[in-house]
Structure 1
């Protein structure tokens, strides 16, 4: 039996005890993990340094190195996130519906764990801790499969989480980390582990997500790539536009809620684009655009290449951005709904009507008026953390916290009734 199947089997067996554990015990396990991550910060950072060294040697791009990086400040942030999740109301056992039938039979619909959740992700070691905490909060065992680029970091964090479960009197097997993955065979075993895995959540680039969606035989919750847009409506305030665009594009260009494309009303391009383009250029952003945007860029002395059809649909995950001029809200919405990935989209405008039309018309998990797309995050949304940002429409959409990792079952109580 492969490592993936062995560990999925162990997690499955442990899931039943974890799902029955009381809320206080599960909270203690999460708090213990928060403490152990800080106590073992030197060990975790040392493991991360080895991962980073290999990544740099392999030519890993800077934004992806930023995703991989762990330091004491980031570990403090991870620990704080776990503490917040531990303090959250428990989703399990929550009554979400019910009624008494004419026969006198009483029905309650209550929240219960999914069971065993598999998370496949790339060079993002923080996902290890987030996934553990949210799965424990929701009573699920988890099988984690991180990318090889972050393997030492992920193993160090997973070991701390496993020890935290044992410290709280819960089965350590409820968290499993799959490390061996010659030619990605373990990933393929995991995504086809029917009867062992109840839900699969892939987190990473488009190729990883599409591989899981197309090849998995277990249920998949698709977390999306982020081809996110900022649309500058003709009534946008220029200063506000600069601030939002720079934050959305430049604060962390390698994350999925970073903006990749800029749209602007043609009639306001001469007013709005120059300050935005100059600010982007100062931050080292490579720009490509349509003919109108390039003409404005040339006038204000900013370099801009010609955008191709592929650019409109590309998630760069780097300091690069496409720019297109449109004719009003309707065309902006149509462009986004065609090329966007259903993640996060934003309009900048002082027009209430334009903002409301945009919010209503754009088909995405998070739609913003006059705010950066970088807010799309489970921690920022008050979920403590996230298992991923779902861009699909069934079961869960947007940042997924503990409640998104539950399902429901009906508890039916009678007194001898028959039908």
Structure 2
């Protein structure tokens, strides 16, 4: 199997996150027992996870979930089985991302189901899928595309309905197999969406970066569902729609790994963790969700949390006074992280899991840190 194909298959497994996938499987079990409406699908129809990152403790339901690396659900054996099961009628039908919504609303749901990965089919039957989708889309008159992202040979498309209260995300491999599917209600938090930090922050890295998770809805930013991480962003570095080159299981092959991190604003360092080993990409450390971390008190009850630093790279210690732009460490892959990336947020307290996330006021208002966008950090 060539690297690109293997990469697309592994990556389909990390876009949505293990905790969400677990919730999706639990929901499917309930659905089989009760045959109720789409609301029972709440968390997910799918089993694909793409950047799995920080989050919370094992017992919490707020685990973070970014990663562009590992995305595929199917092993070579599973892929062969799937191909063997594909009959000639199915081969004649190919649902592309561009036609997915129209097919879901007006075409054959069976065609969509036939294009799902074996893992997805294991979570829900065809009849349950049809019933759930019919209930979910009842009353919907139109869909607006929210994201269209290609990363590591996996394509993500997401849409919200005309009321902004229902959303669909679909993940396609290069051969158009549907490796992940998520339908869910959408909730807005308008009051906190409009409340920004008093401190003005600069992005804490140099050069060009890609927003893997960021924005004010759960389709653009899975953190948004959780008050403690609602306005967090997960950032990776990419080249030619990929976050790494060569072997996917090597940290040094990720473009973001080892990149310097800087203080986003003046303040006092109140917490440093520096001794947590970096993960092998795809293997996460749920015992230490944030991994190596630097927390800075910027005054006004605002604390920046820079997580997933490289082991031993912290350049500051607790009590240090820092100026905006001072070196604080290097980006790594420690904690509940599936690949090298930056988790950055500002909270109203120093603890990642008990404080509330606050919308960040960035110094450069011309750039929007929402999912799928590329932006310029500090000048190199």
Larger helix fraction of residues:
1
> Do the two structures share a fold, i.e. TM-score over 0.5?
no
Instruction: Select the structure of larger CA radius of gyration.
Output: 1
TMscore range, shorter length:
under 0.3
Q: TM-score, normalised by structure 1?
A: 0.25
Larger strand fraction of residues:
2
